[in-house]
Structures are given as structure tokens and as C-alpha cells.
A and B are shown apart, each in its own frame.
Chain A
Amino acid sequence: MRKFIIAVSATACSVAALAQEPFQCVNPDVLNALVFNARVESRLVAKRTLPDVADGYAAPADFTLIGSVVRGANVLTSVGYKTALEARKAFDNLLQFMNAEGWQPEFTPRTPPAVTVAGPPPLAVNLCRNGERRNFLIRDIEGVRYAMISGYETSPPRACNVPAPQQVTLQGMQTNPLAAINALHDSLPQLSFPETARMIAPPPGAENLNTDAVFSVTRIESPDTAATLAGLLSPQLVAQNWSNDAKWSGALSTGSTWIRKTDDGKKYWGTLEILSLGKGIYNVRFTLASWAR
């Protein structure tokens, strides 16, 4: 009788565990803090079925579904399977299955992992179909073969076999930073003040905010109002192919924002600001940035 009770209760425990979602038995704080490192974008939502959009995540009949996870806001979707097939056979079967569904191998340069794990490397391949991407790997862990099929969206969308654009920082740091700064200095607009204006201090030249932004400040004395000065400078910017995006006029600050696109597709952002210091004295500041990709 005791054996029967233990058997029934053990079964009940197992059934109860299987009935719930894969991570449900874990304290949510443990998951949030120690698995996801308190980062919302690292959160995994797991379930025992295929993802809602299941296309490209199916596997042949000799693979048993374990479940699926979605990381962050659909940043990454992964589906786990186990199989009794030997690793190479499992890899070939799954690849053949996905090939038949139109997924074709795509070469993607990989960086070596920061941490190496003992054991044979996983069998893995990147696949693409109509600009959608899946990769799968077969891993042998403690004598069990697992397959993981993962999908992710490229941003911006990219056709199959088109290399990913070089990782572009907003600073444009893929080039020589000094060259980038010099290019910015050369791209500053040339602005002339009316003859009634007097330069109080010589312009200090452009200063660097970072490698992607510079600014130039000039202090002048003028009988004109800030609004009048702004009205005189704006046409000069337009003549130098700048397009106005917004303008403002306050008691202290008067200014406008500008955008310029070059023939080679580069985009510059400019902010012209005239600060009224009183007694007809103004700081005229132009900030130039090249943040566009």
C-alpha cells in the first residue's frame, strides 16, 4: 500500500510539474535577479508549446518538443527539442527538413565566444529564407542530444546573403576619430554678421563635444535684436544647403535647428542659438553633429 501511495504521489508531483510552464516552479525573484540580472530585455518567457508564430521552428518526427522561449520584446525566439538520434545524424536530418521548407544556409562571420566550455563544439548552422533568419544547433549534454532552433529579426530588414552593415556607432568611430572630427570642422557653415555687429572676442574656433559633434561660439555686440540676427543668419544656412526643422525665440535664447544631407547620403544636424547677455551683447553658438547612420 505504501509503495502504491508513493508511486501515485510521485506521479502526481511529476504531472503537476509538467502541467505548469517550464520556469513556473522557480521563485520569480530568483529568475528576475539571478538569471535575468534584473534586466527586462533579458527576461525569457517560456512555454511548453511552439511559439505563436511557429513558421520555421518545426522539426522532423524524430525530435521531441521541449518548449519555446521568447526573450525580451520578441528579440529572440528559441525552440528546444530532444532526440535519440546521434548528433551528426540529428544535424543532417534537421537541416534536410528545413532545406525542404526553403531555409538555406547563410554564412555569417562569427566572433569566438568569450568563454569556452569543455566538450565537443555544437553542430550549428545559420539559415535564411526571404530575409528571415533561423539558426539551429545540436548539442550533446550529459549523453542527451538537444536541438535548439532560434529566430531573430534583423534591423533594418536585410535580404538573405547580404552582409550585415558594419556596426556603426553614432560617433562614426569605424573611421579614424581624428579624421571624423576634422571632417566635422570642415563642415561647419560659414556665417557672416551684419556690418553693424562688432566681434567682442575673436572666435575661439570650433571646440569638440565628442568625436561626432563640435560647436563654435562667437561673442558679438550688435544693435539688432536676437530675432533680427537670427533672421539674418537663417538665409545663409539655407544658401549652404541646410533645411530648417524648428525655431524658437525666448527672452534669453533665440535659435533654430537645421538638417543637411550631402550627396553621398551623410546627414548633419545643426543648432544655431543666440544667447542674449544684455546691453546688445550676444553669444552666437552653432553646434554641428553627424549622428546619422
Chain B
Amino acid sequence: MRRIAFFTVTALSCAAAFGQSLLDCIEPDVARTLLRQGQGAQQPPDITATVPAELSSLRMPREFTWIGSAERITGRLDATTNMSQVTAAWRTSLAPDAARAATAAALAGSGWEIRSQPGMSMNVFRSADQMPQTACRDGKPVNFTASPMDGVTYVLFTIQRNNNSSLICSQPAQPGFVTGLEKYTPHLDLPVDPATGVAVRQQGGGTSSGGGQINARTQFTLQDSPGNVARHFAKQMAGQGWTSDANWSGTLTAGSSWSRRDAGTVLQSTLSVTAVDEHQFVALLHISTLQ
């Protein structure tokens, strides 16, 4: 009986320490110093198990597990009202692409309209740090991302409260690129840094098209050789229906040339990787229609 009483009291004491915030178990001194290093100079977020009201009607698939939400103060609307950003998080064992697609389907099924970012489907180079996608309902946007970390995928929704600066949901949807090359455009995932085991993140770049051409660029930091980086992309080109024509590898540059034929259309592509500085890479992909 005494043991039961002891364990019960211990459990209650410890549970009480958790309170409502999901960070309440952290000692105040640790929260005010070490944890703040993750928040910059901002006030620590208010992290709870509550689903934000803006997402209360969202029905996520059963492969997703609810984690919680965090509200961060981002500024002041007026003397009495704060502007804030709310992050809501789910986890899933689905890969990021599949998680993104499932999330978009869940939003669409719950009454949201997915707004494609202009040119997003054309992006050649892709990293774990994907551009957020936007969904609209009742004229209000919610952004979402799917990012891998520690072997799982986290789907994060971000909602701005008391901040109406985004007009994306009050404007008509933008048409995507129409170049005729969309179906041939490769999607190339950035390599994993062998030093960290984590996929590198894009530090700039983009994709443009016109006149029967596509030009894509990305830049990133990686501890590897140009040859290895070029081979990493080459495998993906081959896996997406492109035929290798030639490849090269020098001290600071490496690359490959590719072709693709489809119903009378002949495409040529050149992928070049340059080590522009220590561990700093720029990759270019040029696609043109051969006439």
C-alpha cells in the first residue's frame, strides 16, 4: 500500500510539473537560458497540445500523428493586440514528398484550395528545405512544409494571426509555366553531406524558362568533390529518362551532357557543377530543344 502511495504521489508530482505547456518540464533556469538559444532574442514560444482553431476542421490521414502547436509573438498590431505566428506539427513515417502530397489532399478534402507557388513545379533543384506550399480557405492562407529529421517527416503548418499582409488568397490563382517542357523537366534532389549525414540546403537559385529553354541554378555548401556531386545528379538524370552523352570531371568543375527524345522532340541538357569556393558549389542545368 505504501509503495502504491509512493508511486502515485511521485507520478502526480512529476505530472504536475508538466502542466499544460509541453515545455513545462524544463527547469525555468534552463528554459530562460539554454532553450532561448533556439529562439534568438524572442520570447520563448507558447507550446501546447492544442490544435489551432484555424485547423480544427482539418482531418489529417491516419499515417499522421499530432504533436502540438507553438505560438510565437512576431510584433504588435496595436497597443493591445499582438501579431503572432502559429506553428502546428504532425509527424509521419511517409517520405517528405508523399507527406506533402497527403497533406495537400487532406487540406483539399477539408475545404482548402491549394495554391501552387508560381514556378514551383518547374523547380529543377530541390532540397529538404522546400518552399512552403500555401492553401486558402475563407480568404485566409495557411502554409505547410514537410521536412525530414531523425528518420521521420515533420509536417509543419504556419498561420499568421492578426497579420493580414499576405494577399495570396485574395488574388486569383497564378497559372503555372507553360513552355511545353514541363513534362521533361528533371527534379534533382541535392546531395547528402557525408560530413553530417544530412541533405544540404539550397542557399539560392531558381529555374527560369522561355524560348524553348530551361535554365536552373542552385548553390549550396558541401564537403565533397565536384565529381561526386556531378555523379549524384547524373544518377537522377538517368533515372528520369535522360540518356547520357558525355561526362567530365576536373579539379574544380564536373558535369555531364544528356539527351532525350520523345515524339519528334529532341532535348539536350547540360549539367555543370563548379566548386566556386571551399565547400561552396554552384550547379547549373541548361535544357534546350534541338531544332
Listed in ascending order, the chain A residues whose CB lies under 8 Å from chain B are 2, 5-6, 8-10, 12-13, 16-18, 22-23, 25-30, 32-42, 44, 46, 66-69, 71, 73, 76, 78, 80-82, 113, 115, 117, 139, 141-142, 144, 146, 148, 150, 169-170, 209-210, 213, 244-255, 257, 259, 267, 269, 271, 273, 275, 277, 283, 287, 289, 291-293
Interfacial chain A residues near B149, Cβ < 8 Å: 32, 36, 38-40
Q: A255-B270, A273-B257 are in contact. List 14 more A-B contacts (CB 8 A).
A: A32-B149, A38-B89, A39-B129, A44-B35, A46-B34, A68-B34, A80-B34, A82-B29, A82-B33, A246-B251, A252-B268, A275-B290, A291-B282, A293-B276
What is the minimal beta-carbon distance from B183 to any residue of chain A, in angstroms?
A: 21
Count class of interface residues, chain B: 35 or more
Give B34-65 as 1s and 0s: 1 = Cβ < 8 Å from A's Cβ atoms: 11111111110101000000000000000001
| Most B C-beta atoms less than 10 A away, residue of A12, A28, A250 | A250
- Tell which of B9, B38, B201, B250 touches A44, judged by Cβ atoms closer than 8 Å: B38
Interfacial chain B residues near A30, Cβ < 8 Å: 22-23, 47, 67-68, 89
Give B178-206 as 1s and 0s: 1 = Cβ < 8 Å from A's Cβ atoms: 00000000000000000110100100100
Check B13 against A17 for contact (C-beta < 8 Å).
no
What is the minimal beta-carbon distance from A260 to any residue of chain B, in angstroms?
A: 12
Q: Does B245 contact A (CB under 8 A)?
A: yes
Check B248 against A287 for contact (C-beta < 8 Å).
no
Knowing A170-B282, A246-B250, the reply to whether A13 touches B14 (Cβ < 8 A) is yes
Q: Once bound together, how far apart are the Cα atoms of A289 and B254, in whole Å?
A: 15
Q: Once bound together, how far apart are the Cα atoms of A166 and B215, in whole Å?
A: 29
Q: Once bound together, how far apart are the Cα atoms of A252 and B243, in whole Å?
A: 11
Interfacial chain B residues near A2, Cβ < 8 Å: 5
Check A28 against B10 for contact (C-beta < 8 Å).
no
Q: Once bound together, how far apart are the Cα atoms of A73 and B279, in whole Å?
A: 15
Check B255 against A257 for contact (C-beta < 8 Å).
yes
Q: Does B147 contact A (CB under 8 A)?
A: yes
What is the minimal beta-carbon distance from B91 to any residue of chain A, in angstroms?
A: 5
- Tell which of B35, B75, B251, B268 touches A23, judged by Cβ atoms closer than 8 Å: B35
Check A34 against B67 for contact (C-beta < 8 Å).
yes
- Tell which of A28, A115, A247, A252 touches B150, judged by Cβ atoms closer than 8 Å: A28
